[in-house]
Amino acid sequence: MEPFIGVIGGSGLYEIDGLKDATWQTVETPWGAPSDAILTGTLNGTRMAFLPRHGRGHIHTPSTVPYRANIDALKRLGVTDVVSVSACGSFREDMAPGDFVIVDQFIDRTFAREKSFFGQGCVAHVSVAHPTCPRLGEAALTAARAEGITVHDGGTYLAMEGPQFSSLAESRMYREVWGCDVIGMTNMPEAKLAREAELCYASVAMITDYDSWHPAHGEVDVTDIIRTLTGNATKARNMIARLPALLSGGRAPCDHGCDRALEYAILTGPDHRDPDLVARLDAVAGRVLT
């Protein structure tokens, strides 16, 4: 199998440079419309798909992003590996604005989003003990280092609902009590849904600010964030351009089992499954439901 790399672009990242035969495709899903059309093409001979998480023009809030439709659409196109790029705040002095973090853990504090493709009539439980793919994360790390980006290998991402930024008390709790490294609003339930869809998933968090805990920086200022986002977006595009060389060639089954996450996850017996829900799961779980 050849890899098909899907990139979900966050705030500030709305395109990929250098795609050959680039086409914006509208993909219909049983979970509604994705955030936007999906840009597909090839980059250095490798198939690529790009989906702007907030839509071009940034029309979706973190809470209204259609996460299920986005992941379903990428899976439906044949994507095998998803690299999520998103803006975040930092809880660590040494993780400074402009740095990147290859996230490997999450604490999910979101509450207003649908978090699973499964439900009544077809129950499934996947493991997200290790919610990102180490192989894919390593490729993103290598690509970032090759671009001269200051990048941190590993970090815990606190996913908040938003759209408001943290209070000072919350920021201090996440940093000092919970031991989080960065904070953002969009990687959950995205990472959980990617696991349910048996997609390898890596999270690249681009730091824009120090949240509100840092005594020398005060509260989060959107003007400062936008300024940092512009520089981060350029670095992210350059990093993405290096991924095909690192991931091209025959793609073996994932060493970490991401592509087999549903193997023993579905608990509802075939005779008791809701046929309407099963039909909606055709792209996400068709491998184990047919």
Q: Which residues are catalytic?
A: 209, 211
User: Whole-angstrom Cα distance, residue 210 to residue 220?
Assistant: 7
CB environment 194-222: b (16+ within 10 A), e (fewer): bbbbbbbbbbbbbbbbbbbbbeeeeebee
Q: Taking the CB of residue 158, how many other CB atoms lie within 10 A of it?
A: 29
Q: Which residue has the tokens 């590993």?
A: 154
74: Cβ contacts below 8 Å, ≥ 6 apart: 6, 8, 38, 49, 51, 82, 197, 199
* Interior angle at CA 44, CA 41 and CA 50, nearest 5: 35
